[in-house]
Amino acid sequence: MQSAALLRMLCGRTGSKPTGNLSLWSKAPRGINRDARAQNAVQLVAAVRLLSTSTSSEPALHRSYLYVPSSSDRMLEKSLSLGTPPDVFIYDLEDSVPPSPFDKNTARQRLGHFLSRTPEEKLPPAERVAVRLNDINTPFFENDMAEILKYPSVGTLVLPKIHSVRDLHYVSRVIRKSNTAHSSLRIVASIESARSVFGLGEIASWKSEFGVQHGGRLAALLFAAEDYCADTSVVRTTSRQELLFVRSQIVIAAKAFGLEAIDMVCVNYKDPEYLREECEDGRRLGFTGKQAIHPTQVDTVNSTFVPTSKEILRAAKILHQMNAAHSSQKGAFGLEMEGGGKEMIDAPMLKQAENTIRLARTAGLEIPLVE
């Protein structure tokens, strides 16, 4: 990335006027005149200065997806006053509600009442409100859709048991027929079966035949590990080794088509250390966020699915030193490693560093000054 583009990325706006000590470049590289040296120095200092993180141009973080059972008035109300709120609330009409028609209908009515009676200023923004519906093969799906699509406060539909693109096409047609007032519904496809994994590429590449405005937009793939294990006879262990392949496949498919990848629930909600281990494992695999089943899990998920301070510092050093390398007409440089030695840094690692700084900035984390 050229210095000016890097500056725009980190500052979050054009026209910012950086300041700093130009003595960082007291000696110009060969072939660089004094004016170019000064310009590079100004941009360099700007690129690694402590950044403001409040610009609206950054995308929202979707690290934690917390399920809130719609079977309980108390839990619905409690979701509005959590100490650490999730990035996305999933108000659930599926697994957390007993399967009887009476319970399903009551939960749907309860959620509708909650969404319609809660003052707008108390509800989270629509982009942070999701509803998990009953799957399309149940007798409850049509009524779920008819009820939930009444409310502009719902920005995301979580669709369980998506086995193929045919399921997504069906949901999209229901959205189209509803004449909903939503400008663009986000759709999260839950991957729960061998069939869905077999067709991941087609599912991830799906687009509504009616366009985003009228048929919804696929925004994420979500891994439902317990359902997947039930379908495939995979035996779950605490090592997660038996799920490495499928989790990696979901991440790859999601990244190939610009989607979020949401990792499985940690069912052991009483063990915070295991939760953190599972979160770190998911982030290493490339997942962008994780489902949560208890409010106490949210803080760990949120704090894990962002770069560490060590990763941010390394990224800032790479941006700083690559700028100098480019000014010296070099495409790579050696970065000093902890414990000795040097790591060769070139274009792919620069891209990784840019991604790290971008995510840190979106999360409101401190970007250190590198000199």
Q: Which residues pair with 220 in a beta bridge?
A: 188, 260
Residue 32 tokens, joined: 């660089």
Angle, CA 4 vertex, CA 3 and CA 6 arms, to 5°: 65
Rounded Cα gap, residues 338 and 51, in angstroms: 26
Four-point Cα dihedral 256, 164, 229, 286, nearest 10: 10
- In the chain the first and final C-alpha atoms are separated, in Å, by 19
d(CA 333, CA 345): 5
Per DSSP (E only), the strands in 207-303 are 217-223, 260-263, 289-292
DSSP string, 315-352: HHHHHHHHHHHHHTT-S-EEEEPTTS-EEEE-HHHHHH
Reduce the secondary structure of 33-63 to three states and give it as a string: CHHHHHHHHHHHHHHCCCCCCCCCCCCCCCC
Phi first, then psi: give them for residue 301, nearest 5 degrees: -60, -50
Confirm whether residue 231 is marked as ligand binding.
no
**DSSP-assigned beta bridge partners for residue 223:** 191
- Check the annotation: does 192 bind a ligand: yes
Contacts (Cβ under 8 Å, ≥6 apart) of 249: 197, 200
What are the beta bridge partners of residue 292?
66
63 annotated ligand-binding residue = no
Report how far residue 23's alpha carbon sits from residue 3's, in angstroms, rounded to the nearest whole number: 18
Cα dist from 195 to 63, 258, 312, whole Å: 27, 22, 39
The closest of 307, 301, 314 to 364, measured between CA atoms, is 307
Tokens of 97: 């509600």
Residues annotated in a binding site for Mg(2+): 192, 227
Residues annotated in a binding site for substrate: 132, 192
Residues annotated in a binding site: 132, 192, 227
